[in-house]
Amino acid sequence: MRLSDTMARALSDQVTLELTASIVYLQLAIELDNQDLTGMSSWMRAQAEEEQVHAAKFISHSLDRGSAPQIGTIEAPSFSGRTPVQLFEAALAHEEKVSEAIRELYRTAQAEGDIDILPLLNWFVDEQLEEEASVGEIVGRLTIVGDDGSGLLRMDSQLGSRTPDIDSGE
């Protein structure tokens, strides 16, 4: 089944949002690296790579269904806070934005009667739940740690052990 024009535009927008998420995470990584929190920076870089994989999933689905997505404008991210907890809160806010976009894609698919995209969207719904929970937990732990240097360094070490999760989901 070919994508409807409405669904094709929505997927192009989602590709742009996923690539924007990758850039957001890369900027957050730079901010943390600048604070010598290399483990947290590494965690953010892994997340940036994962967001590129997410974009690729939407691109592949679109191409498989006869549509070539168009990447839109990607704005340079800026953050009001610079503490680790503020940077992870920015990551959480962006994940929440992506989650809402996935839900909106789901609603669009339902309105268009596009059942062929539902397995992909179901995977993303699960993925977003996991990502929000993961980043939310980090925010919670950083809030508990506060300004405690040894606690912050312990978290930095733990987060630095993360490897990118590039599961194809299919």
Q: What is the pLDDT of residues 24-65, one digit of tens each?
A: 999 999 999 999 999 999 999 999 999 999 999 999 999 999
Q: What is the pTM of this model?
A: 0.92
Q: Are 115 and 96 in contact (CB under 8 A)?
A: no
Q: Are 51 and 22 in contact (CB under 8 A)?
A: yes
Q: Within a 13 Å sphere around the CA of 39, how many CA atoms are in the beta-carbon half?
A: 12
Residue 161 has pLDDT above 70, yes or no: yes
Residue 165 has pLDDT above 80, yes or no: no
Taking residues 109-136, what's their average pLDDT? 97
Residue 168 has pLDDT above 70, yes or no: no
Cα gap 71→28, rounded to integer Å: 22
Nearest to 113 by CA among 14, 13, 6, 9: 6
Nearest to 163 by CA among 42, 21, 22, 31: 42
164 band by pLDDT with thresholds 50, 70 and 90? low
The residue written with tokens 């719904």 in the block is: 125
Cα gap 30→158, rounded to integer Å: 18
Cα gap 43→40, rounded to integer Å: 5
- Determine the residue type at 124: F
Measured CA to CA in angstroms, residue 48 lies from 22, 28, 162 at distances of 4, 9, 13
Q: How is residue 66 annotated by DSSP?
A: T
Q: What is the pLDDT of residues 58-115, one digit of tens each?
A: 999 999 999 999 999 999 888 777 999 999 999 999 999 999 999 999 999 999 999 9
Cα gap 82→85, rounded to integer Å: 8
Largest CA distance in the chain: 56
- Structural domains in the chain, CATH included, are 5-160 (1.20.1260.10)
Lowest mean pLDDT among 3-17, 69-83, 119-133: 69-83
